[in-house]
Structure 1
Amino acid sequence: MGDPIPLLEELIKIDSSTKSGANEVIAYCEQWLTEQGLSVKKLENEGFHMLVCEIGEGDHTIVLNGHVDVIEAEKRQFLPYSKEGKMYGRGSADMKAGVAASMVAAAQLKDRELASKVMLQIVPDEETGGMHGTNYLIEQGYLGDFIICGEPTNMGIAIQSKGVLQLDITIKGKPAHGSRPWEGANAITKAIGLYEEIIELPFAQESSPMYTKPSINLAKIQGGTVYNKVPDHCDMSLDIRYLPDQSPEDIINQIRVITDSTLTVHNLNNPVRTRADNPYVEVLGESIKRVTQLEKVNLFGQHGSSDGQFFTKYGGSAVEFGPVGSDWHGENEMVHVDSVREYRDVLVEFILTMEESL
């Protein structure tokens, strides 16, 4: 029961890149937790299954949040193998290692006298936005004071993450014969020109203590129908990861000033702004140093987003903290086996130490 590695191996074997696959992993986790004597509640939202497992009592709640869904991969990537102290396979780092270690930590803590509540949440759809999983749990009242998302962070603590602003922009041009392009207005070249203007806007040049600037990805562009016509329509999609102190409304307004094109918000996710001097963060940092012998814990800002974002509007302080790994979403995704065990030990140490501080 104490070693998360066999459990991790079994979780990787299940292709959870689909809803049904994620539900299969959820069922496996439910059975494993039940066999360890833990009380588990399974919830369903539009066909997505998720688990909540609570131990302890009290006025404060520590949430261990983990997702079991992964992005698609080749069949071989769902055949985990270990080499030179590393376990390879889709989801090994992002983030079935964090899930397995959190499950084992909960099992180890279940018979301890805990003065606060520890809530393990295992969810199905972080990679596709989290609306059917973590966001649903929060809407049902499964909240916490401090939330640890077990994403791979190389044993550092991500106390901030950028917000997500995804925009769809429709650019209009003027059609003309392909042999006489000067008689028309090419919507595709207008779109590219607009993108080049956007990356020079004031918001795109701003920085913060943890970030040099926002990121702006030209994610999709589509226009034109035939060779011999100047395209009069182009659709462009941007994925903007804005700084925690920036306003998405201000970003949209800056873009509207430079174009009369139709602009639609596809997705908007909140940033995370947990303070470095948050008591939970400070205790977690000390636990990491005691378990790992690190002299200093890296506090940093993530460029991407996690399910921690959903807790912030309800007052929860969220961080990302997880084992050492690399190449998540890549062909050779892997996690360092010893770091998974250390991660389990840090969680147990943190929860028990935090008990004394509350």
Structure 2
Amino acid sequence: MQEPKSVYRREELSEKAITLLKKLIEIPSFSKDEYNTSVEIENFFKDNHIPTNRFKNNIWAVNQYFDDNKPSILLNTHHDTVKPNKAYTLDPFLAIEKEGKIFGLGSNDAGASLVSLAQVFLHFYAQENLDYNLIIALTAEEEISGVDGIEALFPQLPNVELAIVGEPTQMNLAIAEKGLLVIDGVMKGTPSHAAHPNVDNSIVKCLADLQNILNFKLPKVSDYLGEVKITLSGIHSGVQHNVVPETCLFTLDVRVTDAYSNREAFDIIQAQMKSKLTARSFRLNSSKIEIDHPFVQAGLSLGRTTYGSPTSSDQAIIPCTSVKMGPGDSTRSHTADEYIYIDEIKEGIDIYIKILEKVL
């Protein structure tokens, strides 16, 4: 294998990023079906003379002068996408460049972050005497919080001290992120004929229980993420108009702040409710990086801002200090005719490099 270049012009990196993004957009990559995009990512690094490793549909690599005695900074984002919604007016699998934008499914979430981080890794790959190793991991199943993405890969990665998670944040720093707790509940009552009195109607009892919890506020408020948010996202009961059902089923979507672990939030919510609750998982916890962390301070010195993110990402399952940052706008994610501005990719590459130059 040839030696990689040691110096790349920013224009060259931008061109490589745009070319790669267009290729990835035109390869369907739904969660659990990311093999073809993983091959395209492998080919990108191969073409740039960088050896890669594969674990399932996750592709990762380390810098040329990797040193086991040094801590590592991880560059991570995902190459899976959601399925396109029915409101698309453009072909979601056709990369269309117009009006300074690139349209296509996954262009904003998180294709722009992926191709930008890939160029950043290229930029630093052959540099010697860095204070940190640099690892890039472009992973699968983020959109479904799957178990075969970064969660499965992370134990194989060497000595990661900080993870930079690429998601659309307008290149500002999401220094805290809400966790996700999905709770299924059941309220039981006494089944009966609808024509007869019933003071133990499961639906009526459930509605009262839900009204109580939706008005309840967990006492701790996060500086960056505010209050824990509880949303009723589903309810089901009864199949016949003349039968009072025995059970009423419901689902709560709980966005947990760094003030609580998911388990703590669940226990508090259960204590407030008469329904029987079951958590689908406790694994997607909130995350936080301190404001005085060198990476955050480097970003602030370049005029970037910090905020708390209400949306979840692979940060929830990365077991080390992490920060979410990437080109694009989160409000465009999962929308019809998704797009990214070309200038956002150029800016993303530049800002990533400038921050890491202060840290590495």
TM-score under structure 1 normalisation?
A: 0.88
Q: Does 1:33 align with 2:45?
A: yes
Q: Equivalents in 1 of 2:233, 2:76: separation in Å? A: 29
Any conservation in 2 of the 1:185–1:230 contact (CA below 8 Å)?
no
1:318 aligns with 2:325: no
Report what 1:183 is aligned to: 198
Which residues of 2 match residues 73-152 of structure 1 at below 5 A?
Answer: 73-74=84-85, 76-115=91-130, 116-152=132-168
| CA–CA distance in structure 2, aligned partners of residues 191 and 170 of structure 1 | 8
**1:57 and 2:66 correspond:** yes
Shift of 1:136: 0.7
> What amino acid maps onto 2:84 in structure 1?
A
* Residue 114 of structure 1: how far off its partner (Å): 4.4
Equivalent-residue separation in structure 2 for 1:159 and 1:197 (angstroms): 32
Instruction: Give the counterpart of 1:297 among 293, 301, 304.
Output: 304
**How far does the alpha carbon of each residue in 1:97-150 deviate from its partner, in whole angstroms, 9 at most, with x for none?**
100111122223222224221100011111111421111112334451111111
Distance 1:331 1:247 in 2: 34
CA contact (8 A) 2:30 2:80 kept: yes
Structure 1, residues 193-232: CA drift from partner, whole Å, max 9, x if none?
22221122241x6422223322212122222121211122
- 2:209·2:275 contact (CA, 8 Å) conserved in 1? no
Q: Which residue identity lines up with residue 125 of structure 2 in the other structure?
A: K
Q: Distance in 2 between matches of 1:176 and 1:107?
A: 68
Give the SS at the match of 1:267.
coil
Decide which moves more: 248-257 or 79-88: 248-257
* Over 3 Å off, 4+ runs: 247-250
Q: CA deviation at 1:156?
A: 0.6
Question: Corresponding residue for 1:154?
Answer: 170
Structure 2 unmatched runs, 5+: 1-11
Question: What is the DSSP-based 3-state SS (H/G/I as helix, E as strand, rest coil) of the residue aligned with 1:145?
Answer: strand
Which residue is equivalent to 1:293?
Answer: none
**SS state at 1:71 partner:** coil
Q: What is the SS of the residue equivalent to 1:15?
A: coil
Q: Among residues 180, 183, 192, which one is paired with 2:207 in the alignment?
A: 192
Contact kept in structure 2, 1:160 and 1:301, CA below 8 Å: yes
In structure 1, give the amino acid aligned to 2:44. W
Q: CA 1:120 to 1:250, structure 2 compared with 1: closer, same or farther past 3 Å?
A: closer
Equivalent position SS for 2:203:
helix
- The alpha-carbon deviation at position 278 of structure 1 amounts to 0.4
Percent of matched pairs sharing the same residue: 25
Deviation string, structure 1 residues 166-197 (Cα, Å, up to 9, x no partner): 111111122121233x3253323333322221
Determine which of 27, 30, 36 is the counterpart of 1:24: 36
Structure 1 residues 179 and 257: CA distance shift in structure 2, 3 A: same
What are structure 1's unaligned runs of at least 5 residues?
A: 290-295
2-structure distance, mates of 1:145, 1:124: 21
**1:213-224 equivalences in 2 (<5 Å):** 213-224=227-238
Task: Provide the C-alpha distance between the structure 2 equivalents of 1:73 and 1:210, rounded to a whole number of angstroms.
Answer: 32
Give the superposed CA RMSD.
Answer: 2.0
Q: 1:309 aligns with which of 309, 312, 316?
A: 316
Q: How many residues align?
A: 337
Is the contact between residue 221 and residue 259 of structure 2 (CA under 8 Å) also seen in structure 1?
Answer: no
TM-score, L = length of structure 2: 0.87
Q: Contact between 1:156 and 1:298, CA under 8 Å: does it hold in 2?
A: yes
